[in-house]
Amino acid sequence: MSHLDRLRAVFRMALNLPADAGVDGLEYRAIPQWDSLAHMALIAAMEDEFSVLIDTDEMIDMSSFAKAAGLLEKHGIGAAAV
């Protein structure tokens, strides 16, 4: 599974979304499931899945799926193509 597919799976799990939900266009707080509490669960799930440590500023800046993908890239995970 590509890192982006893994990231999509992490999003669906942490935000309690159905297995076929599209997540690529998601933005923080644009859907009720992605609230501040879920955001922390999502960050923790990403840290576990990709063995990275995300700091506070990165956590605050991660306001969309696209930014989450960018953040992984910054941590050296996955190809440059997002």
Partner 1 sequence: MTVFGLKAAEREAVLVERLAELTEHHRAACPPYRGILDAIGAAPPYEHVADLPWLPVRLFKTHELRSVPAERVFRVLTSSGTTGQRPSRVHLDREAAAAQTRMLAATLRVVLGERRLPMLVVDSRSVVRDPALSARGAGVLGMMNLGRDHTFVLDEQGRVDAEAVKCFLARHGSERFLIFGFTFMVWLYLRDLGADLAHGVLIHSGGWKRLAEQAVDNAEFRRRLAAECGLSRVHNFYGMVEQIGTIFLEGPGGDGLYCPDFADVVIRDPETWAEAPPGEPGLIEVVSTLPTSYPGHVLLTEDLGVVRGVDDGCWPGKRFEVLGRLPRAEARGCGDTFGRG
Rounded distance between C-alpha atoms, residue 41 and residue 66, angstroms: 18
- Given the complex with partner 1, which of 9 and 41 has the nearer CB atom? 41
Contact letters (x/-) for partner 1, 22-41, by CB under 8 A? -------x------xx--x-
Q: Is 47 in the site for partner 1 (CB under 8 A)?
A: yes
Dihedrals φ, ψ of 20, to 5°?
A: -100, 10
Contact assessment for residue 72 and residue 50, using Cβ atoms and an 8 Å cutoff: yes
Instruction: List residues near partner 1 by CB under 8 A.
Output: 29, 36-37, 40, 43-44, 47, 53-57, 59-61, 63
